[in-house]
Amino acid sequence: MLSCAPRTEHLVSQLYDCRLNAAMLTPARNNRVQFAPMLSPSAFILRTAVLMALLIGAANVYAQQSLRWGADPSGGAPYVFNDPKHPDQYIGYEKEMVDALASAMGRQAEFVPSDWETLVSALQRKSFDVIVNGLEPTADRQKQIQFSKPYYIFQLALTVRKDDERIHSLADCQNRVVGTLGNTAASRLLEKEGISFKEYAEPLTAYNDLELGRIDAVIMDVPAEVYYASKKPKLKRACDPFFHGTYNIGLRQGDDELKRQVDTAVDQIINDGTLEKILRKWNLWNDAQLELQASKAKPEPQTSDTAYDVTSATFNWREAIWRLTRAAVVTVLIAFGSMFIALVLGLPLAIGQWKGPRVVQWLCTIYVEFFRGTPVLVQLLFLYFGLPTIGLAMPGWLTALIGLGLNYAAYESQVYRAALEAIPRGQWEASYLLGMSPLLAFRRIILPQAFRIAVPPMTNDFVSLFKDTSTAFAISVWELATAYRELANASGQFLMLGVAVSLYYLAMSLPMAHLARRLERKLQRREAIEAVESEVV
Amino acid sequence: MISVTNLIKSANGTRILRGVSFDVPARTVLGVIGASGSGKTTLLRCLNGLERMNEGRIECGEVQLDAALSKSEYARRVTQLRHKVGTVFQHLYLFPHLTVLGNIIEAPTHVRQVARPEAEREALQLLESVGLKEKARRYPETLSGGEQQRVAIARALAMHPEILMFDEPTSALDPRRTASLRSLLRGFVEKGHTMVVVSHSMTFLEGLADRLLYMEGGEVVEFGDANEVLNSPRDPRTKDFLEQAR
């Protein structure tokens, strides 16, 4: 079973590799590798660039031993999704199939949870080696990536409410609202037929809306329909499944050797019956699959007792909470890391905009207005998918950390600037008259006073940064909001998990607010004064 | 000790000082009087280098400033000047984030590079001399206006200036404290300081100033021995001002 643990180890091993590489690259003094504290923004940027380069290198080396595959586990049953019994682990027929493929290839399968909408981009930026997520080889995708041999023949199922007697075929859906997933065979078919449809990100929400009467029908690939709709008492199939499409494995163009290996492995698991066994277990086997078999030798049919019954699975809260806890740690690390960047970078920005030469003022203003004026989500997507096209690919967590840091630096700079400008000119003059240089006056007299003014708005920003870490789900960072989406889609426990996740966010932001209030009080020296006064009395 | 020749200062096209000249011998007190807007505060800001004059010369504690000097040379000399001149503003501008003691030792430890224990010892002596030794650990905002002023004075004295400048020192004081401030300042002359005191209060300057300078509209109307200016002013404008002030 694949879980998050190998991913963490992977990350650690990447970092470890980096350190080794760094040790080899730099003539190490005293044979000791040191991570020096970040001294200046330029040193930090340099370090980050080196770290990124090393991470990319380390990732490529690692790729030779493992088969990293990407898929969207959120709402991904029965392809790949969180096991309700063990929310810490991923299950699904494609998960089992990739394990079988990988072992046929002599590799170790490694799952990289990702987002459906960005799977192709993520493959191209080498977040993983292959896409296995019920992906069809459409013409537009084939322009960007290449595909393996098909491993599954799928049909589409049209689902309606049980009491609905109006719809018996796709043609009956004219002038009705049909729900489906975005960018799938079903959505393209509806487009071609000129039937209006509503796009959903998750199968579960589409079927829920159908039950609630918000839409008239749902059309979806049979595997998803089997898992999400067939056990719902209020829903039924409007007609027999129709359409003929294939699922193939997506690969980067140019990875021809890998494609050859994958094709061989696909042939192998089809012909030795491994795939049929897996499909039977997941209730997905049908005679249409025989088309893919080169030899028609039929393995033993399996009884339905051994079939995986997904609806009867009970949700394991203990593991879910443990998984949320780990996601919360990621959230905390991203929040603190990016706040650190924001606080460090905000000061030079503020000073540049405030007292710098005209050109510097101008540049700082452009920076601030750019990062304040565009959504942080767009900035993260740009950093994650845009930068790799110029050869700069950072892992998701680092992208989130840097992206949010750059964004909040713009806000912090304005907090600093307002605070600095609030210090009366007389404070500068008094310092000069005591013989201080402008730098000394700034450091010893102006900055400490400005800091006192800046603390309350800074705290405010930090709390809001905590919540903004949730935008990192867009670039597949496994933080708290992503965890919520995944687990809730796997279990349908939107309400209770939502409460749990909210409690986590509160548990993180409330101590922050409390600490900030204490810091404020300390800076205002109320306690100090009281202490002195009680001493005097 | 201080000698000013034909000082002219303009700001935004208006002449604030129109050729001011005077001199102050060492260990004496110059009182500068005049109505609001007469240019007396600007004069003080030129003397301590906060404003650059447009024309003229200032000699202050052996440092010579000349309007003709290049910008960098002028700045260099102003830096020298500030080691000789201590200023106490009307609004004091104490550092609110530092204790009384911190306010006083800040410049000695970071500008004169005096070791901290040494600086503290001296600061406590200074505080004792202004009667505030027991308030050394307090923060300025917890002190009364008169106490804050004495902290500002101690802060200026900690840099060992030869010359002390005061801008409207009595504006926040009641009559009793005004008298005690006068005797405190007079004591500094005995210790060897030279002083320039800008004030609109004649009663305060009487018995403190050795010489008086009366300004009006950026010009020196009358300059001379304090007793002479007070008792027999030569210019009718001085006479008017003195009569109104009393």
Phi/psi of residue B54, nearest 5 degrees:
-90, -35
Residue ending a domain, choose from A180, A213, A244: A244
Asked if B50 reaches chain A (Cβ–Cβ under 8 Å), the answer is yes
- Same domain as A341, residue A231: no
Tell me the chain A residues in contact with residue B155 when contact means C-beta distances shorter than 8 Å: 434
Residues A233-278: pLDDT tens digits? Answer: 899 999 999 888 899 999 999 999 999 999 999 999 999 989 999 9
Contact B83 A435 (CB under 8 A): yes
- Same domain as A326, residue A228: no
- Same domain as A235, residue A327: no
> What pLDDT was estimated at residue A293?
79
Q: Over 80: is that where the pLDDT of A18 sits?
A: no
Q: Tell me the shortest Cα–Cα distance from B112 to chain A, in angstroms.
A: 9
Q: Over 50: is that where the pLDDT of A302 sits?
A: no
Residue ending a domain, choose from A186, A215, A244: A244
Residue A56's pLDDT band (boundaries 50, 70, 90)?
low
Residue A392's pLDDT band (boundaries 50, 70, 90)?
confident
- Tell whether A294 is covered by a domain: no
Contact A430 B137 (CB under 8 A): no
> Which of A32-36, A528-532, B89-93 is predicted most confidently?
B89-93
- Tell whether A262 is covered by a domain: no
A531 to chain B: closest CA residue: B138
Share of chain A above pLDDT 70, in %: 82
> What pLDDT was estimated at residue A336?
93
H/E stretch holding A130? strand A130-135
* Gap between the Cα atoms of B17 and B46, Å rounded: 10
Structural tokens at position B89: 């503003």
Share of chain A above pLDDT 90, in %: 41
Q: For chain B, where do the domains classified as CATH 3.40.50.300 start and end? A: 2-84+165-245
- Just give the CATH number of B2-84+165-245: 3.40.50.300
* Gap between the Cα atoms of B242 and B238, Å rounded: 6
Asked if B53 reaches chain A (Cβ–Cβ under 8 Å), the answer is no
Q: Over 60: is that where the pLDDT of A11 sits?
A: no
Contact B93 A528 (CB under 8 A): no
Number of CB pairs < 8 Å for A and B? 59
> What pLDDT was estimated at residue A414?
95
ipTM score of complex: 0.93
How many structural domains does chain A have?
A: 3
Strand partners, B42: none
Contact A436 B156 (CB under 8 A): no
Q: Which of B110, B139, B142 sits opposite A440 (nearest CB)?
A: B110
Contact B93 A445 (CB under 8 A): no
- Tell whether A257 is covered by a domain: no
- Tell whether A200 is covered by a domain: yes
Residues A505-529: pLDDT tens digits? Answer: 998 888 888 888 888 887 765 445 5
- Same domain as A41, residue A165: no
Looking up residue A156, the CATH number of its domain turns out to be 3.40.190.10
- Same domain as A173, residue A26: no
Residue A197's pLDDT band (boundaries 50, 70, 90)?
confident
Q: Which of A424, A430, A532 sits opposite B137 (nearest CB)?
A: A532
* Gap between the Cα atoms of B161 and A434, Å rounded: 10
Q: Distances from the Cα of B88 to the Cαs of A462, B130, B152, in angstroms?
A: 41, 14, 6
Q: Distances from the Cα of A478 to the Cαs of A113, A293, A328, A343, A485, in angstroms?
A: 8, 38, 9, 25, 10
Residue B26's pLDDT band (boundaries 50, 70, 90)?
very high
- Same domain as A521, residue A391: yes
User: Within its chain, how far is the Cα of A100 from the centroid?
Assistant: 26
Q: Which of B91, B97, B142 sits opposite A448 (nearest CB)?
A: B97
Residue A50's pLDDT band (boundaries 50, 70, 90)?
low
- Tell whether A137 is covered by a domain: no
Looking up residue A461, the CATH number of its domain turns out to be 1.10.3720.10
Average pLDDT score, chain B: 91
- Same domain as A439, residue A352: yes
> What pLDDT was estimated at residue A58?
52
* Gap between the Cα atoms of A126 and A56, Å rounded: 9
Residue ending a domain, choose from A212, A244, A276: A244
- Tell whether A222 is covered by a domain: yes
Q: Over 60: is that where the pLDDT of A35 sits?
A: no
- Same domain as A516, residue A369: yes
Instruction: Provide the domain limits for residue A7.
Output: 1-64
> What pLDDT was estimated at residue B208?
92
Structural tokens at position B203: 């009663």
Residues 6+ apart with CB under 8 A from A422: A450, A453
